[in-house]
Structures are given as C-alpha cells and as structure tokens.
Amino acid sequence: MDISELQVGFKDVYDTDATNFFFSPGRINLIGEHTDYNGGHVFPAAISLGTYAAVSPSKDNELHFFSANYPKNGEVVVSLTNLEYKKEDSWTNYLKGMFTFLDQTPDQDAYSFGLNIYIKGNLPAASGLSSSASMEMLAGIIITSMYDIEIDPLEIVQTGKQVENEYIGVNSGIMDQFAVEMGKKNQAVFLDTNTLEYKLFPINLEDMSIVIMNTNKPRNLVDGKYNERRAECEEALTRLQDVVNIESLGELDEKSFDEYCYAIGDETLIKRARHAVIENQRTIRAGEAMTNNDLQQFGRLMNASHISLEYDYEVTGIELDTLVHTAWQQDGVLGARMTGAGFGGCAIALVENDAIDNLKKEVTAAYEKATDFSPSFYITEISDGPIELF
C-alpha cells in the first residue's frame, strides 16, 4: 500500500497531515495448531498482508480512531483516562487494550498527549490470519515510536496475549502475537510455547508457493467454541495428572499418551488431548523436515494435521474440509490444511507454482457446489514483523 493513499485518507478524516506511518503483518501458521495453550510447539510466519496506520499527535488527551475498512463506524474517540473495554468500540478495543496494559508497566508514565490514528488493512478480518494480533502489535510500535519509549518486544507480545485474555475475553495462546512481532522475511518462527525459546527457519520454497484459501465464512472466537476447546484440554490434563506427573499436554509423546490416556475416561476429551499431543510431535517432525528441505514430508505432515483437526479436535467444518480435501486431489499440491483457530477462516496449501491456476479453478468449483460461499485466494510473502514506514 502506498503511503500517499494513507496520507490522503488521514487528511480527509482529521484535516491535518499524518506524521508517522506503520505496518504490522498478519500471520499464517504452517503447522502446530491448538498447541500453543497446551505447552506445545507452533510453526507460524508473519505475512505481507496486514494492517497499516497513519498517525499524528492530537491536541487533546484523546485517542481518535478511524478505519478505512469500517468507514460506517466513523471516528471513535476515547479519553486516555478512560480506556475500559466497550463492545460498541468494536475493533478499536484491540488497540485500547494495548494502551491500557502497556501503560501499567512500572517505568512508564501516562501518555502525555493523544493521537489521531487512521487504519487501513488488507488482511481479511475474522479469517484466521490474526487481524487482531496484527492490530495489537501495531499498537505496540505506535506506542513505542510516538511516545519515544523502549519496550522489550517480548513484553509487547505478552501484552497482546493479555489483551486477548483479560480485555477481549478470548483465552488464546501466545502464537499469533509472537509470530507477528518476531516474524522475519522469508523465515518461519519455530516456537516452543512452553519455554518461549524459538528459532527462525529459512523457508526456501523454490518453485512453490503457499496459497491461502479463504472460506469467507466469518468466525468469531469470542463466541465460545475456542474457549470450549481450551477448557476440554485443561480437563483432560487434570485427569491425566492423577496418573502421570506433567504440567502440560505438550510434555507427552505418542507413547506416553498411549499408556496414560485410559485415565481421561471420556471419548471427547481423549480426542482433544490426542490432537494436542500428536500435533505437537508432528510439529517437531515438521521442523526437522523443513531443516532437511524435505517439502514432500512437510506436505504430508500438513495433511495429517488437518485430519487430526477434523476428526479429533473437530474445528474444521464443511467449508474448510471442502477446500482442503479438494486441494489434496490436485496435481502439484504437496500439502494442505486449515490454519489458525478453525471454525471457518482460512486454509493454506503448499503448491507448485505452475499448478496454482488449476488449484484455484478446481477448489472454487467444488467449494461453490458444496457451500453457500465463494472462496478467495491470496499468495503472500513471508514478511518482517511491525515496521515504521518512511
């Protein structure tokens, strides 16, 4: 996106010039789904689709927000002295939450002036590509730059998670904020969510691309299904702790899970825990496959991940399944799986470049036949974390 486009939009709304410009990416998750709140591994990457902001200091003590994506909402104005969550403030809550919690860090005074903030994103909202973490990490770079303060990136990541958990009410893990903030161009983030140790893996796709396939079925994590899965894993863990000394499901492997899962004693809970345990092991294997540049093996692990999310974790549904199953049948597709929380949103496919057109054609036909929606496709680059644009 052109800075001049942001500048013009900003001036239309605030009748003054923007002084600073920022970009914060979204993310895809290559593999390791619903493992980040179970002490497991994840393997996401920041992408070149994301959220842009044009900003200037304001003359008052207020935050002024406007989104070019939701022009009908108009300008949302909140006082810096009253940043409490309000449902009607919709998307601005992600930024308000960041202002709220970053202000509580010990060595930081209250913000000394307000801001005019104009947002424009090219990330489809509620699509499993982390538009919310993109906005949270955007707030992080806006705050550090505009108020000239230093905040450790890990603290910004953890604050984003805190916003989701305590301010928005989604009991999410740390993957999205970590991937967005720590992402690097052409590298994926292999993160152990138990220790927060991570490695950056070069993603060398050669004549292949990662194609994002959007179900265009909106999903809302606040509606409870996400939190329900998390609670099911916690219950399974509690039951396992009667027979084995573990702090998280991520500490088990296939063999130990097999030996102890009798203690869970409930079919649904066994399936949820089995996904968490095996998906974590699969993600470790996927990291090895990527290190060996074995994309065939990586693709098979992506497929296995989807199967586990479909049958054991039950977070896919007809829309995601149709996209992914149809992709599997096409020549030149090495692997495909849903990405993100599921329940709608997006899937990804690892595809040879000369097979992309056929993939789009066949997936669109099958998807329109099976559902009430049409799919969208995006081919994005793996990108850097939040940046200030000049």
Catalytic residues, by residue number, are 176
287 binds ligand GLA (CB under 6 A): no
Out of 9, 25, 160, 173, name the contact with ligand GLA by CB under 6 A: 173
Q: Give the Cα separation of 224 and 229 in Å (integer).
A: 9
Tokens of residue 364, six digits: 């669109």
Residues 367-386 touching ligand GLA, rule: CB under 6 A, are none
CA distances in angstroms from 34 to 48, 50, 317, listed in the order given: 23, 22, 16
Residue 94 Cβ vs ligand GLA, minimum distance, rounded to whole Å: 12
Helix axes 131-146, 175-182, angle to 10 degrees: 50
Out of 89, 136, 176, 181, name the contact with ligand GLA by CB under 6 A: 176
CA distances in angstroms from 228 to 212, 260, 268, 310, 316, listed in the order given: 27, 23, 12, 16, 15
- Point out which span in 13-21, 47-55, 167-175, 381-389 binds ligand GLA (CB under 6 A): 167-175
Mapped onto helix, strand or coil, the DSSP state of residue 153 is helix
Residue 218 Cβ vs ligand GLA, minimum distance, rounded to whole Å: 15
279 binds ligand GLA (CB under 6 A): no
136 binds ligand GLA (CB under 6 A): no
Out of 175, 180, 301, 346, name the contact with ligand GLA by CB under 6 A: 175
Long-range contacts of 111-115 (CB under 8 A, 24+ apart): 111/80, 111/143, 111/147, 112/147, 113/57, 113/58, 113/61, 114/57, 114/58, 114/59, 114/60, 114/61, 114/62, 114/63, 114/64, 114/80, 115/55, 115/56, 115/57, 115/58, 115/63, 115/64, 115/142, 115/146
Residue 353 Cβ vs ligand GLA, minimum distance, rounded to whole Å: 28
Cα-Cα end-to-end distance for the chain: 13
Residue type for position 140: G
232 binds ligand GLA (CB under 6 A): no
Q: Give the Cα separation of 176 and 269 in Å (integer).
A: 25
Out of 9, 36, 58, 317, name the contact with ligand GLA by CB under 6 A: 36
CB atoms inside a 10 Å sphere around CB 67: 25
Residue 103 Cβ vs ligand GLA, minimum distance, rounded to whole Å: 23
- Point out which span in 32-40, 232-240, 284-292, 317-325 binds ligand GLA (CB under 6 A): 32-40
340 binds ligand GLA (CB under 6 A): yes
Whichever of 195 and 245 has its CB closer to ligand GLA, that residue is 195
- Point out which span in 52-60, 139-147, 172-180, 267-275 binds ligand GLA (CB under 6 A): 172-180
Whichever of 193 and 322 has its CB closer to ligand GLA, that residue is 193
168 binds ligand GLA (CB under 6 A): no
Say how far residue 161 (Cα) sits from the centre of its chain. 11
171 binds ligand GLA (CB under 6 A): no
Q: Give the Cα separation of 63 and 322 in Å (integer).
A: 43
33 binds ligand GLA (CB under 6 A): yes
Residue type for position 243: V
Whichever of 30 and 270 has its CB closer to ligand GLA, that residue is 30
Residue 252 Cβ vs ligand GLA, minimum distance, rounded to whole Å: 18
Q: Give the Cα separation of 353 and 332 in Å (integer).
A: 8
Residue 93 Cβ vs ligand GLA, minimum distance, rounded to whole Å: 15
Whichever of 179 and 349 has its CB closer to ligand GLA, that residue is 179
172 binds ligand GLA (CB under 6 A): yes
- Point out which span in 10-18, 53-61, 170-178, 380-388 binds ligand GLA (CB under 6 A): 170-178
Tokens of residue 181, six digits: 């903030």
Mapped onto helix, strand or coil, the DSSP state of residue 334 is strand
34 binds ligand GLA (CB under 6 A): yes
What residue ranges bind ligand GLA (CB under 6 A)?
Answer: 29, 33-34, 36-37, 172-173, 175-176, 340-341
